[in-house]
Copies of this chain bind each other. A is one copy, B any other.
Amino acid sequence: MPPLNRPRIVAAAIDLIEREGADAVSMRRIAADLGVGVMSLYNHVPNKSALLDGVSESILSEIEFTDDPAAPWTERVRMQARAFRQIAHSHPRSTMVVVSRQLKSAAGMLPVERALSTLRGAGFGEQEAVQIFRVFIAYVIGSLLREVGVTPTFAPVHGTIRAGDVDPELFPEIGALAPHLSTCDHEAEFDFGLDLLIAAIAGRLAGRTG
């Protein structure tokens, strides 16, 4: 039995979240999965909150930025957003944990640095770069939370809405569009909105310089 340590505890937490969901995470359960007493965990992790921070940090640090400096900035922005989405997608049930924890560590700030650097390099002003950055973050997080089922509100997922379930008098559009509302190619729709946003800010930049 290898010694108990923080990375092993964090890994067990991620594993548990992916197997049974974030609600199943408890210190007792993690300890049981590790074959260890509950309180032994506290020798390596100050509390549950810090453990979840560790989960977020661990997942975040998996992001691989294959950032080609020669590529146009629009492509680099697209790739960064996709890289983030892909990591979240490889740990779907941990996504809510990742995005709901503000990390001050390097793992949390590196993606921010990359994005801001790309936007500044593209020619956006200081405040402008930050605003655009925030718009992208909002879109990416909003999309991810819908994809993983945390915020299904207003975006019924597969099987939730069928044409017969809604009163076509009260909700004619929902009834008519039920086939489209009940299916979703997440990746294609993510790219759809991403392209929309990139085109919008590219137009902003073009309108100024030329």
Contact = CB atoms under 8 A, between A and B. Distances in A.
B153 A108 contact: yes
Given A116-B177, A117-B173, A200-B196, A137 B146 contact: yes
A37 to B, nearest CB: 27
Interface stretch (A11-19, A28-36, A127-135): A127-135
A129 B174 CA distance: 11
Interface residues of A, number: 66
B153 A101 contact: yes
A132 to B, nearest CB: 8
Interface in A56-107: 56, 98-104, 106
A140 interface: yes
A60 to B, nearest CB: 9
Given A142-B137, A200-B200, A113 B192 contact: no
A203 B100 CA distance: 34
Contact of A193 (B126, B138, B181): B138
Interface string A11-54: 00000000000000000000000000000000000000000000
Interface string A121-156: 000001101110111011111110110001111111
